[in-house]
Amino acid sequence: MHIKKQRLLTPGPTPLYPPALHAMMASDIHHRTADFQNVYKTALADLKEVFGTSNDVLMFAASGTGAMDAAVSNLFSRGDEVIVCTAGKFGERWAEIAKAYGLKANVLKAEYGDVVTPQRVQQALADGPKTRGVFIQASETSTGAEHDVKAIASLVAKTDAIFVVDAITGLGTMPLDIDDWGLDVVIGGSQKAFMIPPGLAFITVSAKAWKHGETADLPHYYFDLKKEKKSADAGDSSWTPATSLILALGEALKYIKKIGMPQMIENAQLLACATRRAVEALGLELFAAGSPGSAVTAVRAPKGMDSGVIVKDFRNRFGAIIANGQGSMQGKIFRIAHLGYFDFADVLSLIASLEIILKANGHDVKLGSGVAAVQEFYLSAMGQKKSCSRDGHGCGTAWPNCPLHSASSTAAKSVKERETVNV
């Protein structure tokens, strides 16, 4: 047996930021003390800064789904008409939560790998003038696709509906201007771009959303936004908080602030672009090629090969945990994560490992071709870096050669169009 380091390379949980992990060792602290209240208040203020919003930002001891649940149970009433945009496994979750709480959901479904277009939302809003809410994923982690959040937000903002965005893998991987775009509720989770273990859910609430909450009649107890806001304003959490995770969060947020959120986004975008280059060089096919996001790159397994073989081989040969497809995509795609604590060296090693795995499983691959594509991209992207504007949200147009398919392909075109929208 030889040394095999454990490598967590999934789009949640993501690799942990070591100082955050070390901070958890100070967990022998009581939550109703000034010491901890300082940690808590700082974490909430830093979250607000990193999210870039003046809306309220609250957190729950829960995985991300807890905040999704809270958004529905606190801001809606039984029988409310809502629009649910679903483009994969997590969109289906919105539909399930809406159903569980008795909302009347108009589900706009896109095939896995596709996205729900602003045009469809516009039509649905026109057809449903009583719509109280629109639900979406900024980044659909199960397929790697990214929604045009900005365009859809501008449509919803003109109505009485609130826009509820699961940005659990959107935060830190794509520009999301919560206040300017009018994103009423934005949800995040600790185990994604925040580089710490699972167990904290974040949620922002706009004035428009609070207004919805005033007339909402759905039952809730633990996930109580109003109660949580009152507590947070006093520097407390309503219930016993996940102290160890909040200590970790404090450390991670310090790091994210030091790097800067736009650069965090740029980091994910660069790694995603490099990965797409490598995937093309290896003769593999991108999944969700029309609207690829930067949280995760989904790749089709070569013809005749189950993607589970690739996932298993990553684990057996390299101690690396990468993600298979979820639901109906299982066995068909594998997913390479970019969000959070990932860097170029990670991509180089991952692509080199992938080449070995493909070759060992009989796929015709020229060793080094994917790695070379990453190396070339690294050099050209770093050369361009000075021209990348640093004041805005990310640098969506800074890597015009990012989309892999030839410039004339519709995939490349739609990516370009979207990147223009994003800036």
Ligand X SMILES: *Cc1c(COP(=O)(O)O)cnc(C)c1O
List residues binding ligand X (CB under 6 A). Answer: 12, 63-65, 90, 137, 141, 166, 168-169, 189, 198
Q: 153 vs 56, 170, 267, 291, 421, CA distance in Å?
A: 18, 15, 25, 17, 12
CB of residue 158 to ligand X, shortest distance in Å: 26
**CB nearer to ligand X: pick between 271 and 374:** 271
CB 118 within 8 A of CB 110: no
**CB nearer to ligand X: pick between 65 and 154:** 65
CB of residue 302 to ligand X, shortest distance in Å: 26
Cβ-count burial 352-377 (b if 16+ within 10 Å, e if not): bbbbebbeebebebeeeebbebbbeb
**CB nearer to ligand X: pick between 168 and 282:** 168
Residue 42 sits at φ, ψ, to 5 deg, of -65, -40
DSSP 307-364: HHHHHHHHHHHH-EE-EE--GGGTTTEEEEE-SSS--HHHHHHHHHHHHHHHHHTT--
Q: Which of 242, 232, 164 is nearest to 201 (CA)?
A: 242
Cβ-count burial 139-175 (b if 16+ within 10 Å, e if not): bbbbbbbbbbbbbbbebbeebebbbbbbbbbbbbbbb
**CB nearer to ligand X: pick between 36 and 94:** 94
CB 298 within 8 A of CB 143: yes
CB of residue 204 to ligand X, shortest distance in Å: 15
CB of residue 201 to ligand X, shortest distance in Å: 7
CB of residue 170 to ligand X, shortest distance in Å: 8
**CB nearer to ligand X: pick between 163 and 399:** 163
Q: Which of 152, 142, 201 is nearest to 181 (CA)?
A: 152
d(CA 180, CA 194): 23
**CB nearer to ligand X: pick between 281 and 323:** 323
**CB nearer to ligand X: pick between 131 and 141:** 141
CB of residue 128 to ligand X, shortest distance in Å: 24
| 56 bridge partner residues | 205
**CB nearer to ligand X: pick between 282 and 288:** 288
d(CA 216, CA 134): 16
| 83 bridge partner residues | 106, 134
**CB nearer to ligand X: pick between 17 and 399:** 17
Residue 134 sits at φ, ψ, to 5 deg, of -125, 125
d(CA 67, CA 85): 18
The tokens describing 296, both together, are: 């995760």
CB 250 within 8 A of CB 43: yes
CB of residue 200 to ligand X, shortest distance in Å: 10
CB of residue 15 to ligand X, shortest distance in Å: 15
CB of residue 101 to ligand X, shortest distance in Å: 17
